[in-house]
Structure 1
Amino acid sequence: MGYDVDGSRWISTRLWSLPFLAEAEQVSSLRRALRTHLECWGLQELRDAAELCVSELVANVIKHVGPGTPSTLVVSLNSTHLRIAVHDPDPRALPTLVRAGVEAEAGRGMALIEAVSDRWGVDLSGDRKATWCELRVSAGRVGRHAALPRLARAADLLSLYGGVVSPPLGPGQSRLGTAVARDAAIGIITDLLYWCRVYGRDADDVLDQAQVHFEAETEARFP
């Protein structure tokens, strides 16, 4: 989970995947799904490039592996890049970068991806492969997204302790939801203090160091 662009509510920023059959008719649905996630993540400026990459990655599977191939679209976001990957079950059919002529009607797929993305590649794993590309998140958003891994872990812990799926932090949220999230956070900290005592750690020192790390990170990201 993570904050949205104005920090008022929580949105999902976890890796998400969507199984599909590699057919031309599926491309529009995949583009719509990706568009929705980009809007939730506040990355509308990447929409055109991201949708182009999805189209070309799927077209690559259709052409080189075969129509109807069971595939999966996987999208993730970190502090600097949006990664788009298409997984398929044929590690032998590797994509190649072809410099097609200006009048060519085919063979432009990976060249287009290289042109609009920051980088691309192929990961091989057993009997599968993942062809991926990454789009750079604009500099103005790097600081905001840099804390997402910590926010995601915190959301997971809150959910584990209090059943809080979306911690209500924004205006208009229920007091009950806020209380549940607060109590879950208190429970997490209390358990960590127990852990410090059992394993002979100085709880005050641990809390002090955590505060120092927190202040250093927030000052670096939001000077």
Structure 2
Amino acid sequence: MPGYDVTEPRLRCVLPFEAVPAEVSQLRRAAAEQLSRWGIPVAVDDAELLVTELATNVVKHVGEGVSAALILEWRGERLRLEVHDKSSVRPSIRMMDRDQESGRGLHLLTFLAIEWGTVLTAVGKAVWCEIATDVGSTCLRIGRAVTALENYQALGGGPAYERGKDAVLAESAVALIADLLHWTAARGQDPDDILDRAQMHYEAEADVA
């Protein structure tokens, strides 16, 4: 999966790929290796997850076997991820039942990214998102978590607000974590391993803070 770098005026890498499930894992590894070469202080797990979701959406909604490309672009304190394909149909987030698997990728994109969107291109569209690359991003993570939990209540109706907003957010956090564990298990990953890795990230960032 060849790529090329342009170092001026910013760090940029283009990774063409074929939209098939086997290529998604290769693309994820290639992106992680590129970030490592750049030495970006970014949460690599977040970047890998976003690459996986963006590429998987092409496989599911554009067509298996189509040509696409991932662009990584590092600008200051943000890393931008773009996936270009040949479809002009823009993705949209729809309300869904908690038991639904389809469409969850865009909700995760909303939770993990600072910003995301779509733009039409000369041959189709690009779906893009940006994540922070600074190590001291605890406040950003907290704000992102609150936004995610407030939005997540709609997925399952959520408890009544009479119990207090903090209680609602706490219950939403439990439901979201449980759903994410189901999501990881459905993809053949070990939920306990995911929890251990999340705990390690939290403790490492808490020590730095």
Normalising by structure 2, report the TM-score: 0.58
Matches within 5 A, 1:6-85: 14-43=11-40, 45-85=42-82
CA deviation string 1:36-60 (max 9, x = no partner): 1111222354211111111111111
Which whole-Å CA distance do the structure 2 matches of 1:72 and 1:50 have between them? 16
Percent identity for Structure 1 against Structure 2: 38
Larger Rg: 1
Instruction: Tell me by how many angstroms 1:68 deviates.
Output: 0.6
State the superposition RMSD in angstroms: 2.1
Which one of 126, 129, 145 corresponds to residue 130 of structure 1? Answer: 126
Which whole-Å CA distance do the structure 1 matches of 2:26 and 2:58 have between them? 16
Letter in 2 for 1:94: R
Task: Report runs of 4+ in structure 1 exceeding 4 Å deviation.
Answer: none
Question: Which consecutive unaligned segments of at least 5 residues does structure 1 have?
Answer: 1-10, 142-223
Letter in 1 for 2:13: W
Which whole-Å CA distance do the structure 2 matches of 1:130 and 1:80 have between them? 22
Normalising by structure 1, report the TM-score: 0.54
Matches within 5 A, 1:109-128: 109-128=105-124
CA deviation string 1:118-152 (max 9, x = no partner): 010111122321111100121659xxxxxxxxxxx
Matches within 5 A, 1:162-177: none
Please tell me whether residue 106 in structure 1 is matched to residue 128 in structure 2: no
Greater relative contact order (CA < 8 Å, ≥ 6 in sequence): 1
CA deviation string 1:66-124 (max 9, x = no partner): 10110011100001210011100111x21111233322222101111110010101111
